[in-house]
Amino acid sequence: MSKLKITRTTKQKRIRSKEQERLYVELIKDQSKICKEFMINLNSDTNLTVHTLKKKFRLLNAIVNRKLFKNFQKYPEKRVGFYGFFEKEFNNNHINLLLKVPKDYDVLNVLVLIVQGWKKLGFRPHFEVSDNQNAVVSYQIKQFTKQDSESFLVS
């Protein structure tokens, strides 16, 4: 198993828009297997376009699901869901990621596969563990806007 850097954080970001507030409330109320303990950032350390980043994001999702279950396309209930929120920064366009992990899989095993897959694609992943689910959700959706469909992807 690779060495994973896990740090604890509880700092909470402020929700800024009505769309963010609505999404935030829905994600916090959601009792499904959306993993809200991990702040996962898929860094590119480059100025990749959102279109290219989306391709890599979908490819990573396929890599992870293929490793867990070969026939993941036939059985959507066994598929790991990725909720990606794209963030544009100078020389580091990246994805803030929330995971929906079926009860059949161990979350830490899924995280290891994400780290390995993102490194295989030539990038640097980063994640942190937090006791505060509100802080995780508000941080992950900080650049979400309803008008900008480029800022969000479900895979």
Question: How is the chain split into domains, by residue range?
Answer: 33-154
H/E stretch holding 120 reads helix 107-120
**Better-scored residue on pLDDT, 147 or 152:** 152
The structural architecture, per CATH, of the domain 33-154 is 2-Layer Sandwich (3.30)
pLDDT digits (tens, 9 = 90+) for 45-100: 888 888 888 899 899 999 999 999 988 888 888 899 888 888 888 888 888 888 88
Could you tell me the maximum CA-CA distance found in the chain, to the nearest angstrom?
42
Between 8 and 120, the higher pLDDT residue: 120
| Contact of 1 with 108, CB cutoff 8 Å | no
- pTM for this entry: 0.76
2-40 confidence digits (pLDDT tens): 455 544 444 555 556 777 777 777 777 776 777 778 888
pLDDT at 65: 93
Between CA 26 and CA 4 the distance in angstroms is: 30
Could you tell me the pLDDT band of residue 146, with boundaries at 50, 70 and 90? low
- The pLDDT, as a whole number, for residue 14 is 57
Nearest to 113 by CA among 78, 63, 153: 63
User: Which of 52, 128, 62 minimizes the C-alpha distance to 96?
Assistant: 128
What is the spatial distance between Cα 36 and Cα 140, in angstroms, rounded to a whole number?
10
Is the pLDDT assigned to residue 43 strictly greater than 90?
no
